[in-house]
Amino acid sequence: MIQNPQLNITQNPHSKRKNGWFSDTWRRLRKNRLAIVGLIILILMILIAIFAPWVAPYGYDDQNIKAAMIFPCKEYPFGTDNFGRDILSRVIYGSRISMQVGLISVGIALMAGGILGAVAAYFSHMDNIIMRTIDVFMAIPDMLLAIAIAASLGAGMRNLMIAVGVSNVPRFARVVRAAVLTVKEQEFVEAARSIGSSNLRIITTDILPNCLSQIIVQATLGVASAIILGSSLSYLGFGIQAPLPEWGAMLSAGRVYIRTHWYMTVIPGLAIMLAVYALNVLGDGLRDALDPRLKN
């Protein structure tokens, strides 16, 4: 909080600026129709994920062998699978898993990558060692790194999130480093240093808030690619296992019946696409809204 006795400013200028930042961003974002569509889809999906037990007509593992392999009809809008489980309910419950995988793995990547990137940018003697290590990790495509980690840790949701998260660390480290490097040279950082702020305080209160817009954009797009990576790994069998209704695992199960039951490979894929599309248009919209200079 800045106090200026001469001007007798009483309100907290920091909170006012934050308000302005939010309303400015929102005002610009609102004009982007596509981004708003993405935001609405996303909010709906999050609500569906939260209220899955109330929204879904059946449980995700309610087997009814008599009603197996039924094509989409009134009773089962998206049909049933080989165990007679309602695909609509499974897709609804699947949104819980994909959202969790996306958010938590990006959380892991952002924490680890953010610390590494900020340290590398702020303490220049650490820059070389950290970034060369990051370069080595970047040389392994993220899908292969994630597969290797998932294969080593074993299947399961927690391990999948770790695998996807770790393979995304280099990407976030680079983004945060680049952002911190540009902010670091600004006068207010020097000002903070001159009044004796500690390094930790400068990084957390002066530098990171000013990098926030870039980080938000990358995190939004990162969740989208984490959902794709997570479902790809589950498709290959290195992620979430039956009977959990992961979208990629559902596609993998439906692959066997592709010649006879098309809906089993179409519907879970549409769900992935919808979620990822919403996140991508929102991310693009946020980039334009948060940094109008970049807009075409």
Partner 1 sequence: MLKYIVKRLLMVIPVLLGVTIIIFTILYFAPGDPAVMALGEGTPEAALEAYRVEMGINGTYIERLVRYVGNVARGDLGLSFQSRKPVVSELMQRIPQTLTMATWGIILATVLGVFLGIVSATRQYSFWDTIATIGALFGVSMPMFWQGLMLILIFSVHFNFFPASGFSSVKHMIMPISALGIQISANIMRSTRSSMLDVLRQDYIRTARSKGQKESRVIMGHALKNAMIPVVTVIGVQFSKMLAGSVIIESIFSIPGIGKYMIDAINARNYAAVQGSVLLIAFTGCILNLAVDIMYTFIDPRLKTIFETKRHRKKVA
Q: Which residues bind partner 1 (CB under 8 A)?
A: 34, 132-133, 135-137, 139-144, 147-149, 151-154, 224, 228, 231-232, 235-238, 248, 251, 255, 258-259, 262, 265-266, 269, 272-273, 276-277, 280-281, 284, 296
Cβ closer to partner 1: 52 or 226?
A: 226
Cβ closer to partner 1: 183 or 276?
A: 276
State how far Cα 142 lies from the chain centre.
Answer: 15
What residue type is assigned to position 44 of the chain?
Answer: L
What residue type is assigned to position 108 of the chain?
Answer: I
Expressed in percent and rounded to 5, the helix, strand and coil fractions of the chain are 75, 0, 25
Do residues 122 and 203 touch, judged by C-beta distance below 8 A?
yes
Cβ closer to partner 1: 122 or 247?
A: 247
User: What is the rounded CA–CA span in Å between residue 79 and residue 73?
Assistant: 7
Cβ closer to partner 1: 145 or 207?
A: 145
* Least distance (Å) between residue 98 CB and partner 1: 11
User: What is the rounded CA–CA span in Å between residue 135 and residue 84?
Assistant: 48
Query: 243 preceded by cis ω (within 30°)?
Result: yes
- How many residues belong to the chain? 296
* Least distance (Å) between residue 38 CB and partner 1: 10
Cβ closer to partner 1: 89 or 280?
A: 280
Do residues 251 and 258 touch, judged by C-beta distance below 8 A?
no
Name the packing angle between helices 157-184 and 87-122 (round to 10°): 40
Cβ closer to partner 1: 14 or 255?
A: 255
* Least distance (Å) between residue 262 CB and partner 1: 6
Do residues 36 and 23 touch, judged by C-beta distance below 8 A?
no
**What Rg value do the Cα atoms of the chain yield, rounded?**
23
* Least distance (Å) between residue 26 CB and partner 1: 22
* Residue carrying the six token digits 């302005």: 20
* Alpha carbon distances (Å) from 214 to 70, 177, 211, 218: 47, 11, 6, 6
Cβ closer to partner 1: 81 or 142?
A: 142
Cβ closer to partner 1: 184 or 287?
A: 287
* Least distance (Å) between residue 229 CB and partner 1: 9
* Least distance (Å) between residue 186 CB and partner 1: 25
User: What is the rounded CA–CA span in Å between residue 101 and residue 106?
Assistant: 8
